[in-house]
Amino acid sequence: MNLTKIASVAIAALVLTTTFAQAGGNGTIVLNKDVLKLRPVAACQLGSGEFPNDIFITNKGAGVLKTGQKVNWSVPFANAKGAYVLTADLAPSKSVFLADVIPGSVEAGHDCKATAL
């Protein structure tokens, strides 16, 4: 089971136990859709080649990242970072290509991090 599924199960269990406690133990479950809001998940990957200067931003979440959503990215090894504002909706498992964003390029295989805000 991957980390996302484990976290989802843990959050669901917490919501249910909290709901039972708030219901006073009478067995009534009332779920409020606004109680549980999951943060959008984004990831990034270096472009192809031996010394890429491009990255791919990928939607790793279950929902669509909407047009106008800001995604911060960084490549710590190269001390490169930036932000990208989506110009179109990004469906789950889909990517957007950012060309020439790492000054001077970086050796392949280094980490790239992204956070959807």
pLDDT band at 99 (very low <50, low <70, confident <90, very high): very high
Tell me what pLDDT residue 21 has.
44
> Bigger pLDDT: 16 or 78?
78
Q: What is the largest CA-CA distance in the chain?
A: 64
Instruction: Write out pLDDT tens, residues 30-84.
Output: 666 566 566 789 999 999 999 999 999 999 998 999 999 999 999 999 999 999 9
Mean pLDDT of all residues in 106-111: 92
CB atoms within 10 A of CB 86: 19
Tell me what pLDDT residue 20 has.
44
Instruction: Please report the domains of the chain, with CATH numbers, ordered by start residue.
Output: 1-38 (no CATH), 39-117 (2.40.30)
Q: Name the one residue in this structure whose structure tokens are 């504002």.
A: 85
Q: For residue 52, what is the DSSP state?
A: -
Tell me what pLDDT residue 11 has.
63
Among residues 75, 67, 88, the alpha carbon closest in space to that of 45 is found at 75
DSSP alpha helix (H) spans, 23-101: none
Question: Is pLDDT of 94 > 80?
Answer: yes
Contact 50, 36 (CB under 8 A): no
pTM beyond cutoff 0.85: no
